[in-house]
Each structure stands twice: as C-alpha cells, then as structure tokens.
C-alpha cells in the first residue's frame, strides 16, 4: 500500500495472504447471492419471516463482497495505507455504497421471478420499486465519486511512484465543475449532467495523458476535496507562479485548457515564451468561457490554426430543440510540429472510432471525442512512440472472469493468437479463463507486466 517513509513515498507492495483472504470473502459473498437467488426464484409470495431472512442474507452477502474487494485491492497493492485518513473515509463510503445498493439488488432478484413480477405489476408497485431502485443507484454513484475524491493521490505521490517526467495540466478553476465538453446551449442538459456527474473532461484528459506520464495540476486553494482527474498539488497563493514555472521546466508535456481567468492568460504567456512548442498543447473546449484578450493574443500568434480550433456555436432558439449536429466542432486542440508550426485538431462528437464505442456505452460522453483528438495530437507531435497505455490488471481480471471464454482478456493484453484460440475452444476455454483471472490476481504487478503485457507494450511502441 502507498505509504510515507520520512520524506519519500514507498511504492505499493503486494501481499498474497490478503489476496487469499479477499478471494475467500468473495466466494462467501457468491454463496450468499446463490442462496438468495435460488430461494426467491421459487418461493412466492414470500412470508414476512422468509423475506426478512433473505434480506439479512443479502445485506451479509453485499458486505462480504465489498470487504472482499477491499481486501483483494489491498493485497494487490493498489490502495493507500490505512494510516491515511482519506483512505479510511473512502472505505467507509464504499461500504455505505454497498449497503445502499442492497435493496435495489434484492428488488432485482425478486422481480426476476415471473409470478412476483406479475403481482407487482398488478398492484402498481413495479413503477415505484423501479424508481426507488434507480434513486438508490444514483446515490451509490455519488457516494462512489466522493470516495474516490477522498482516496485521490496527491501530485507528490503520483510523481514519486511514477518516475517518468510529469504532464502538467493547467486550467481555470472555474472549469473544474464542468461535466460536459459541450451542452448544446441547453441549461436543462447542463443542470442534469451536473447532477449525474459523469466522468468530466478533465478526468478523460488525465486518463489519456497518463500514457505519457503522471498528470499533475495546481489545486484550487481552500477546496475540501480534490477534484477527480489530475493529481493535485496545493501551494500558497503567493507561490503558485513559481511552482508552475518549476513544473513546466521538467514536464514532458504541458496541456493548457484555455479559460477566462487572468491566471490562464499568464500561464499561456509563460508556456509560449519558455517551452519548446512540441511540449505544448492548447485545448479550447466548449462550455469554457475564454477571455477575449486571450483569444486576440493567440489569434495573432497562431493565425488560422487557432481559429480552426475554436468551438462552433450551437443552434439557437427552436432549432436547438430539433437537431444537434454531432459533427459540429465542440472544441479543438492546438499542437505544434517539429518546425514550430501550429496544427489544429478538431474535437467532435461524431464520427466515433469503433475502439471508443465502449466509452459511450459506459456513459462517458467526453471520452470518445477527446481520445480521437489526442490520437491525432500524439501522431502530429511525434509522441506516439512513448504514449503507450499500461493495461489494467483489474480490467484483465474482469474480462477473464466474465467473458473469458471469448479470449477477451488476451485480446486486451495484445496476445491475439491466444485470444483466437480461446474463442475457438469456447466451452473448454471457460475453465481456463477462470484460471487466467486467478493467475492475474496471484502474481505481482512486475510479474504480470513481464509475463502477460510485454507483447502489447512492445507493439504499442513499435
């Protein structure tokens, strides 16, 4: 677990005893779930005493599942030390999240019984139950986001644990709470998405730029919790400019999201004056107001390239309710070639690359437009050779456990031949996929990279 030793941060270690304990807790949770599903599917109507029994077993199973995941994560070295108060608060919120979801899961189990579903429809309780279940899922999502903010690593931790030069993300503090790149000019859309809180543009940008290095940003003074996205570094008001210059000098890449504050104007001036142009990317995203003096300064310095990156205004009035063209430019990125010339890369909602369709399905509206644009930036600036993504062990485990018969975990890790073999074997490969999931969990991260990921990373750098 991430811990501090004196003035240094200790890299997370793995513990196979915790892995075994976590897997046993998950097995017990699976047993409780099987008990509830098997009995509620055949017993209806449920007597009060039986319903209370199944509810109690459901609560027990959900808490065992949450505890198993937390212990397994600690065993895999992917969490911070429990001595950190933020980590303890995050665990408390995650356990509360699991209990909030328990009624929704029990309701979903009951309505899986056709007799129960018909009875609920006849009484009119199906709509009320569905609405309550959706409300509980929404509350659980907000608890999850809050727990992640408590558990967010600081910029010092991120840079200590990742030896690569950092990526510096600069923006106006006013843009920290923006949920969408572009809301189409609709106040209703803006307020609804703020309430739902999908992954923000900053989160998506940080997720992309972690391929280059640890992503850090200056935190807003006085905020109780860091925003999700770039790892925050908090400095006094009279020292932030010196810290920005210091980080610029060591950063592999500086990304500035243009905004309306005077601080952003100063940061852009410093970047243009002191940075090699290939280490700078300017982001103009819809939803962020850009200061007129900054637009004038960059238009004069960059010419047509900057104009080609500006968002196109959405339709107004009744036209905005009839059709929103997904091909409309909702923003743009300005990068620079080896000769210092500026290149504008538009950000559009459409077309969506096939590889990005999964993000749309996961309700991440900013992911596909930004990923498509940054792929072009990496290619235009020559960063494609080292902007390789480290595959997630958690994703590999989930793919192996859920749809491993299709070979998805091996396609994800870059071993297409083995993935195709699993898909051909189909039923037989289901057993091997479970073994794969356990192997991925059992080995430490270094062995996982050496045995399962090396081929993919080598292909990405080629």
User: How far is residue 44's CA from residue 426's CA, in Å, rounded to a whole number?
Assistant: 37
User: How far is residue 199's CA from residue 30's CA, in Å, rounded to a whole number?
Assistant: 30
User: How far is residue 377's CA from residue 346's CA, in Å, rounded to a whole number?
Assistant: 10
Which among 285, 286, 249, 291 has a CA at the least distance from the CA of 266? 291
If you average pLDDT over residues 251-277, what whole number do you get? Answer: 95
**DSSP state, residue 152:** P
Q: Tens of pLDDT along 88-108? A: 999 999 999 999 999 998 888
**DSSP state, residue 391:** P
If you average pLDDT over residues 135-160, what whole number do you get? Answer: 94
If you average pLDDT over residues 69-90, what whole number do you get? Answer: 88
pLDDT of 2 reads 55
What is the Cα gyration radius of the chain? Answer: 25
Which among 311, 173, 166 has a CA at the least distance from the CA of 249? 166
Position 357 pLDDT exceeds 60: yes
How many of the other CB atoms lie within 10 Å of CB of 417?
9
pLDDT of 123 reads 78
Contact (CB, 8 A) for 286 and 369: no
User: How far is residue 335's CA from residue 343's CA, in Å, rounded to a whole number?
Assistant: 5
Those residues with Cβ within 8 angstroms of residue 151's Cβ, 6 or more apart along the chain or in another chain: 79, 80, 86, 87, 90
Burial class (CB in 10 A: 0-12, 13-18, 19+), 297: middle
In the chain, what is the straight-line distance between the N-terminal and C-terminal CA atoms, in Å? 33
E strand or H helix at 424: helix 416-425
pLDDT of 319 reads 56
pLDDT of 122 reads 81
Q: Tens of pLDDT along 385-414? A: 555 677 889 999 999 999 998 999 999 998
Regarding predicted confidence, which is higher, 335 or 115? 335
User: How far is residue 97's CA from residue 94's CA, in Å, rounded to a whole number?
Assistant: 5
User: How far is residue 225's CA from residue 230's CA, in Å, rounded to a whole number?
Assistant: 13
Specify the range with the lowest mean pLDDT, choosing from 189-198, 264-273, 315-324, 346-355: 315-324
Position 4 pLDDT exceeds 60: no
Percentage of the chain modeled with pLDDT above 90: 58
Position 194 pLDDT exceeds 90: no
pLDDT of 363 reads 87
Regarding predicted confidence, which is higher, 186 or 252? 252
pLDDT of 460 reads 52
pLDDT of 287 reads 74
pLDDT of 428 reads 83
pLDDT of 317 reads 61
If you average pLDDT over residues 136-151, what whole number do you get? Answer: 95
Which among 336, 337, 324, 328 has a CA at the least distance from the CA of 310? 328
Those residues with Cβ within 8 angstroms of residue 291's Cβ, 6 or more apart along the chain or in another chain: 259, 260, 261, 262, 264, 265
pLDDT of 313 reads 83
Position 310 pLDDT exceeds 80: yes
Regarding predicted confidence, which is higher, 314 or 36? 36
**DSSP state, residue 414:** T
pTM of the model: 0.87
Those residues with Cβ within 8 angstroms of residue 48's Cβ, 6 or more apart along the chain or in another chain: none
pLDDT of 300 reads 92
pLDDT of 135 reads 93
Torsion of CA 107, 108, 110, 115, to 10 degrees: 120
Which among 283, 285, 282 has a CA at the least distance from the CA of 270? 282
Summary mean pLDDT of the chain: 88
């Amino acid at each position: 677990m991430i811990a501090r030793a004196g003035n240094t941060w200790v890299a997370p270690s793995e513990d196979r005893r915790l892995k075994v304990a976590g897997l046993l807790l998950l097995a017990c949770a699976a047993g409780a779930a099987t008990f509830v599903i098997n009995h509620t599917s055949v017993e209806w109507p449920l007597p009060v005493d039986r319903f209370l029994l199944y509810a109690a077993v459901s609560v027990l199973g959900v808490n065992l599942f949450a505890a198993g995941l937390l212990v397994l994560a600690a065993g895999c070295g992917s969490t911070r030390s429990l001595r950190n108060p933020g980590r303890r608060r995050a665990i408390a919120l995650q356990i509360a999240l699991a209990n909030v979801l328990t009624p929704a899961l029990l309701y979903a189990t009951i309505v899986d019984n056709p007799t129960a579903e018909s009875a609920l429809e006849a009484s009119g309780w199906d709509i009320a139950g569905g609405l309550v279940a959706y409300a509980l899922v929404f509350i659980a999502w907000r608890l999850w986001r809050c727990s992640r903010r408590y558990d967010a690593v600081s910029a010092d931790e991120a840079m200590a644990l990742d030896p690569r030069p950092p990526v510096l993300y600069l923006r106006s503090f006013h843009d920290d709470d923006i949920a969408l790149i572009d809301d189409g000019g609709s106040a209703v859309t803006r307020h609804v998405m703020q309430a739902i809180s999908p992954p923000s543009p900053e989160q998506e940008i940080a997720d992309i730029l972690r391929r280059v290095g640890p992503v850090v940003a200056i935190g807003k003074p006085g905020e109780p919790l860091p925003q999700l996205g770039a790892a925050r570094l908090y400095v006094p008001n009279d020292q932030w400019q010196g810290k920005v210059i210091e980080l610029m000098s060591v950063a592999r890449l500086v990304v500035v999201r243009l905004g309306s504050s005077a601080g952003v104007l100063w940061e852009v001036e410093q970047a243009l004056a002191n940075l090699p142009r290939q280490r700078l990317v300017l982001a103009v995203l819809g939803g962020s107001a850009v200061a007129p003096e900054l637009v004038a300064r960059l238009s004069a310095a960059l010419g047509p390239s900057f104009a080609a990156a500006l968002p196109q205004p959405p339709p107004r009035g009744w036209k905005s309710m009839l059709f929103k063209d997904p091909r409309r430019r909702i923003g743009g990125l300005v990068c620079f070639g080896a000769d210092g010339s500026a290149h504008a890369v538009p950000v559009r909602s459409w077309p969506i690359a096939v590889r990005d369709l999964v993000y749309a399905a996961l309700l991440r509206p900013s992911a596909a437009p930004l990923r498509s644009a940054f792929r072009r930036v990496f290619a235009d600036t020559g960063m494609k050779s080292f902007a390789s993504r480290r595959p997630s062990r958690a994703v590999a485990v989930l793919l192996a456990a859920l749809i491993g018969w299709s070979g998805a975990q091996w396609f994800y890790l870059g071993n297409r031949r083995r993935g195709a073999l699993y898909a051909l074997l189909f039923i037989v490969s289901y057993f091997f996929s479970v073994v794969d999931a356990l192997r991925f969990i059992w080995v430490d991260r270094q062995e996982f990279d050496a045995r399962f990921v090396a081929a993919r990373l080598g292909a990405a750098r080629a």
